[in-house]
Amino acid sequence: MNEPQQKWTETIEADHSLFDLKLREVWRYKDLIYMFVKRDFISSFKQTILGPIWFFINPIFTTITYLIIFGKFAKLSTDGAPGIVFYLSGVTLWNYFSGALLGTTATFTGNANIFGKVYFPRLVTPLSIVISNLMRLSVQFILFFIVWAYYFFNNEISPNWWILATPLLLILMALFALGVGMIFSALTTKYKDLSMLLAFGITLYMYATPVIYPVSMLPGYFKKLAKFNPLTGIFECFKYGWLGVGDFSPVMLVVSTIIILILLVIGVVTFNKVEKTFMDTV
């Protein structure tokens, strides 16, 4: 008698397109993404006294520091917006981007023990990091909204309809962090010293991004150069929409979107290429 043929529920293949995100397969593992997000969120408060309050403490102290150093001493322009809400808007966005980027870059090195034991779409890990940082952002955004509401009801800021672009801005930042993070996560499997340089590089990148200053204060050449920074259009649009200040034009957002999509494609190709052999080098 012929034995009945087995029907496999999962087929793992070595060869697949470098451009394939395998989103259908990722969707099947959505419960795993939820577990990773929950793990990251809970581990942030484990063995801490203040718990979620730390999400408020960080932007508050950072904003006060910027207000004293860059507002009082350096006297950098805020385009007429109140210093506290101006710096807090930049800090809130930057905390999300830097957290998501640093977390994504550790995808392979930080999860090698899991990847070596069980199969699941590797894209699940960086996606869960981006989403868990979105949850942290939502908590910090509450603080920003409270401060923003105070100045709004005191008629010290003039928001406009560009405030509705906020979800798009967050998606673009998430894709940017995901794309660049996947590139560095692939490179650090072979060149581990890159992870040491990355933290320093992100600090330098913050000063190249309009977090603590508006683009309008930059001289002509540097202003043109700043517009090729993918985060410039995002930060300027956010401040323009919520605070009514800034040197923003829709073209800046279009440039940011194009650059981010290009980096995302490069990140996907690099990530897919390295995931086949990273266990040999990590």
- Assess if residue 37 is contained within a domain: no
- Assess if residue 215 is contained within a domain: yes
Expressed as residue numbers, the domain containing 112 is 53-280
- Assess if residue 176 is contained within a domain: yes
- From 196, 171, 228, 39, select the one nearest 105 (Cα to Cα): 196
Count of positions (residues) in the chain:
282
- Assess if residue 36 is contained within a domain: no
- Assess if residue 32 is contained within a domain: no
Burial of 266: CB neighbours in 10 Å, binned 0-12, 13-18, 19+: middle
Distances from the Cα of 57 to the Cαs of 64, 88, 130, 139, in angstroms? 11, 12, 21, 11
* Cβ contact 104:130 at 8 Å: yes
Give the CA-trace dihedral at 10, 13, 17, 23, to 10 degrees: 20
Number of CB atoms found within 10 A of residue 227's CB = 19
DSSP 9-63: S----S---TT---HHHHHHTHHHHHHHHHHHHHHTTTT-SSGGGHHHHHHHHHH
Tell me how many domains the chain contains: 1
pLDDT, residue 212, reads 93
Structure tokens at 12: 């793992």
- pTM comes to 0.86
pLDDT, residue 279, reads 47
- Assess if residue 204 is contained within a domain: yes
- Assess if residue 274 is contained within a domain: yes
Ranges under pLDDT 50 in the chain: 1, 14, 279-281
- Assess if residue 26 is contained within a domain: no
Structure tokens at 10: 């999962």
